[in-house]
Amino acid sequence: MDRKELEGAVAPISSESLAQNTKAVYYIRSVTSTIFGVGAGILGLESYFGFLFYFAGTAYVSLLMFFILAKGKPAEFFTSPSYVWTGNAFTGLTSFVLTWTMLYGLVDA
């Protein structure tokens, strides 16, 4: 047995709570990225600035998740502690572009 298997045998992981935590992060990422797109459209951002806006917003939400959702201890709730920062960071990108372009067009009278 390699190291990882041994760790799993000594300190087993609850797959049920892992799935529940991952789902919570996924939901927050998808909903917030849609609203980030609305914001980027209202601000009339173009090209790279829109994507920068997305990543700034994602970083902000990651910060909130780290301190409020995971109470500063992501290792206790995820198998990889970086999941709070990088997990599902790109899943919202498509819905972001959708609402971004839609609001950009709507706001332009």
Partner 1 sequence: MTALSKFVTTISLLLLAHAGFSAYEFSHYLKHLTIKSNASLPADIIVETVVAIALFGLGQVIAAPTLQPVSFAKWAKQVEKEGNSPFAYLERRAGFVNIQQIRSDYKDSIKA
What are the residues binding partner 1 (CB under 8 A)? 11-14, 16-18, 20-21, 24, 27-28, 31-32, 35-36, 38-39, 42-44, 57, 60-61, 64-65, 68-70, 76-79, 103, 106-109
Taking CA atoms, 30 is separated from 18, 25, 92, 105, in Å, by: 18, 9, 5, 22
Cβ closest to partner 1, residue 59 vs residue 94: 59
We find the least distance from the C-beta atom of residue 75 to partner 1, in angstroms, to be 8
Cβ closest to partner 1, residue 3 vs residue 105: 105
Report d(CA 1, CA 58) in Å as an integer.
38
**Which of 93, 99, 90, 74 minimizes the C-alpha distance to 21?**
74
Contacts of 35 (CB under 8 A, 6+ apart): 99
Half-sphere exposure of 49 (CA within 13 A, CB side): 7
Cβ closest to partner 1, residue 38 vs residue 93: 38
We find the least distance from the C-beta atom of residue 44 to partner 1, in angstroms, to be 6
Cβ closest to partner 1, residue 73 vs residue 94: 73
